[in-house]
Amino acid sequence: MSPFFRKLALTGHITSSVGWLGAVSGFLALAVAGLTSKDTEMVRTAYFAMEFTAYFVIVPLSLASPVTGIVQSLGTTWGLFRHYWVMIKFLITIPATILLLVHMQPIGHLARVVAETTLASGTLTGLRIRLVADAGAALMVLLVATTLSVYKPWGMTPYGRRKQQRGSSQSSYPDTNGETGVGTKRGLIPGIPLPMKMFGIIVLILGLLFIVLHLSRGGLGGH
């Protein structure tokens, strides 16, 4: 990637990732208010606001963060599986996004219930507690991801070291900041141009998310 495009992509990645963390914090506050407040108007407003925040802020950011992260990974020598900090972020972020999409149905259900009735205390308590727990867990995952991004611990994976050894005979390989762009002859699938690889992986992940969302609609329809 050119320095300009790399900085642009990094700006998008940091903005979407840390924005996602901020939006989940707000969502958690609303989930706690919805669960604990005695004021019925407050409870209604909290679940309406949660649905809007989830659909229009959290879901877009939860897709933008991994997509821009993958672009950064494959477009620089950080790679997706070469450094523990990137690999772990990838492995915790994708399930977090999938779980989020799966849990969109209960959020919509709660918003519909408060639109039609006043939520008496004790109604749907299990579901309301689950939303608090899920938002808390998502916040933990995102805090771990942010911390990993800043400290970048544990160095390279065995796969990354093998790649580095092979790559060092062809070009210099900066381990510390991933400055050098990855050429078409390196990476997971040698020979395929980088934009094609990025496009392929992103389409694959979005396809997977779509399938999960579709299946979850059937599975959680009763909520």
Alpha helices in 117-189, H assignment, sequence order? 125-151, 158-168
- The residue among 133 and 143 lying less far from ligand HEM, judged by its C-beta, is 143
Taking the least distance from each CB to ligand HEM, the nearer of 5 and 129 is: 5
Q: Which is nearer to ligand HEM, 47 or 85 (CB)?
A: 85
Q: How far is the CB of 6 from ligand HEM (least distance, A)?
A: 6
Min CB(184)–ligand HEM separation in Å:
19
Give contact residues for ligand HEM (rule: CB under 6 A): 6, 10, 13-14, 17-18, 20-21, 65-66, 69-70, 72-73, 76, 78, 80, 86, 89-90, 93, 142, 145-146, 149, 178
Supply the minimum distance, in Å, between the C-beta of residue 85 and ligand HEM.
8
* Minimum distance, C-beta of residue 223 to ligand HEM, in the bound complex (Å): 27
**Minimum CB distance to ligand HEM, residue 99 (Å):** 13
Residue of closest CB approach to ligand HEM: 69
Residue closer to ligand HEM by CB (options 12, 108) is: 12
- Residues with Cβ < 8 Å from 206, sequence gap 6 or more? 63, 67
Nearer to ligand HEM, 113 or 139 (CB): 139
Beta carbon nearer to ligand HEM, 43 or 86? 86
State the minimum distance, in angstroms, from the CB of residue 212 to ligand HEM.
15
Encode the chain in three state secondary structure. CCHHHHHHHHHHHHHHHHHHHHHHHHHHHHHHHHHHCCCHHHHHHHHHHHHHHHHHHHHHHHHHHHHHHHHHHHHCCCCCCCEHHHHHHHHHHHHHHHHHHHCHHHHHHHHHHHHHCCCCCCCCHHHHHHHHHHHHHHHHHHHHHHHHHHHCCCCECHHHHHHHHHHHCCCCCCCCCCCCCCCCCCCCCCCCCHHHHHHHHHHHHHHHHHHHHHHHHHHCCCC
Helix axes 3-36, 59-75, angle to 10 degrees: 150
